[in-house]
Amino acid sequence: MKNRWYHYVAAFAAALFLSNTIPHFVKGICGDSFPSPFADPPGKGLSDPLTNMMWALCNLVAGYILLRLSRFSWRDTAMAIVFFLGMAFTGIMLSIHFADKAPM
């Protein structure tokens, strides 16, 4: 069956969630505080490592579900490109957003 437009949207969204898993998971397992939507103010203040780990796991589950719904396959070049663009977009946006959080 041919993929429809919404399969590509789901693949892009899956990449957003899966990319966002990485920083929260890494900071969580390292025991470091890191911004999350549950901090005060949201996305700016720091959340404890457990909160970041839980947020990472929520992102991972959402990304997995969306990836399954997208019917993702590496054999579908267009799908792989859309997924890569989602990862690149999230990576670039997160690097800009969290630039001031890096130690100097």
Selected residue with higher pLDDT from 66 and 103: 66
Specify if 22 maps to a domain.
yes
**Can you give the pTM of this predicted structure?**
0.87
Specify if 48 maps to a domain.
yes
What's residue 102's pLDDT? 53
- Residue 75, domain extent: 5-99
For the ranges 30-34, 60-64, 70-74, the maximum mean pLDDT occurs at 60-64
Distance CA 69, CA 3 (A): 11
Specify if 15 maps to a domain.
yes
Specify if 104 maps to a domain.
no
pLDDT for 41 beyond 50: yes
Specify if 51 maps to a domain.
yes
Q: How many domains, in total, are found in the chain?
A: 1
What's residue 104's pLDDT? 44
SS3 (DSSP) at 73: coil
Specify if 88 maps to a domain.
yes
Nearest of 92, 97, 90 to residue 19 by alpha carbon = 90
Specify if 70 maps to a domain.
yes
What's residue 83's pLDDT? 97
